[in-house]
Amino acid sequence: MSADVNVNTHAGAPRDRYAVVGNPVAHSKSPYIHARFAAQTGEPVEYTHLLAPVDGFVPHVRAFIEAGGRGMNVTVPFKLEAHALADHLSPRAAAAGAVNTLSFREDGIHGDNTDGVGLVRDIEVNLGVSLKGARILLLGAGGAARGVVLPMLDRLPQTLTIVNRTPTKAEELVAQFAAAAREASCELTGGSARAIEPRAYDVIVNATAGSLDAALPECDDAAFGAGTLAYDMMYSAQPTVFMRHAEALGARAADGLGMLVEQAAESFYIWRGVRPDGAPVLAELRAMMKAPAA
């Protein structure tokens, strides 16, 4: 079934409009993913790209709302502006300090952040690794890391260690999420790479942008073991340098493509009240990425 199949359940009926907004945005796989979700669930959804000028995010969102738009996914560089624009923030969006999902409702603009939920669902559902009672190492303390801390704490890990090249940024995250960690009975620590215990973790998440430049984050090799899931939030057609390094040390490695699909599934659920199955869409994307260019 192709990505642009009409939803037969609602043939001839008007479809609700959604979009992904960013700059650049043409490369985004979100329209494909949401078209598959719409076909799977029978929801009358039309989903497109929306390129906004770097200095024109808010007018483009307002125009989309005026034209009847129901919701938006937000990608770089607008997640902070989306956070500021929202009239209402979910707890996870407030904690992340960034918004990737906007819903346009009668009582205003609702902002949410589904990145962390997408990561957790990919790890637990698609990869079959439980985070409950796990020892987790989070590499990086930027926006990507901030967005996943609370959803990971919600899964009740035993420990969560956050490390960053600039230790104060990791320490700031530890302070920000200290109360949530206490509620989860999770030992939350962080700082420089010296905070890494020299023994294998259950899960290591690379939230740095190092894989874009084929650069490894600072991490003790002893943190990787045969029982470790090494998860890179980046993805590409070939394994990232972080994934290759982890596999060479005996760990299991995964990229962030499943996170992309599952965060989209969470957005779809927020908008439509129906949770699509991400696994078949993820399998389709994997096959597309591995297929030789025509």
Which of 279, 287, 294 is closest to 121 using CA atoms? 279
Secondary structure letter of residue 177 according to DSSP = T
Binding site annotation covers 30? Answer: yes
Q: What are the beta bridge partners of residue 17?
A: 46
Binding site annotation covers 142? Answer: yes
Binding site annotation covers 165? Answer: yes
- Burial class from Cβ neighbours inside 10 Å (0-12, 13-18, 19+) for residue 275 reads middle
Q: How far is CA 231 from each of CA 9, 157, 173, 256, rounded to the nearest angstrom?
A: 38, 16, 20, 7
Binding site annotation covers 4? Answer: no
| 290 catalytically annotated | no
Binding site annotation covers 22? Answer: no
What is the Cα–Cα distance from 173 to 188, expressed in whole angstroms? 10
The number of beta carbons lying within 10 Å of the beta carbon of residue 31 is: 19
Binding site annotation covers 126? Answer: no
Binding site annotation covers 42? Answer: no
Which of 57, 65, 62, 114 is closest to 91 using CA atoms? 114
Binding site annotation covers 92? Answer: no
Binding site annotation covers 185? Answer: no
CA angle in degrees (0–180, nearest 5) for 82-86-91 = 100
Binding site annotation covers 132? Answer: no
What is the Cα–Cα distance from 56 to 278, expressed in whole angstroms? 32
Binding site annotation covers 233? Answer: yes
Q: Which of 17, 79, 92, 121 is catalytic?
A: 79
Binding site annotation covers 158? Answer: no
What is the Cα–Cα distance from 255 to 207, expressed in whole angstroms? 11
Binding site annotation covers 263? Answer: yes
Binding site annotation covers 169? Answer: yes
Binding site annotation covers 141? Answer: yes
Q: Under a CB-based contact definition with an 8 Å cutoff, are residues 164 and 190 in contact?
A: yes
Binding site annotation covers 36? Answer: no
Binding site annotation covers 1? Answer: no
- Burial class from Cβ neighbours inside 10 Å (0-12, 13-18, 19+) for residue 143 reads middle
Q: How far is CA 19 from each of CA 33, 34, 152, 240, rounded to the nearest angstrom?
A: 12, 10, 28, 29
Amino acid at 292: P
Residues annotated in the binding site for NADP(+), as ranges? 140-144, 164-169, 233, 256
Catalytic residues: 79
Residues annotated in the binding site, as ranges? 28-30, 75, 100, 115, 140-144, 164-169, 233, 235, 256, 263
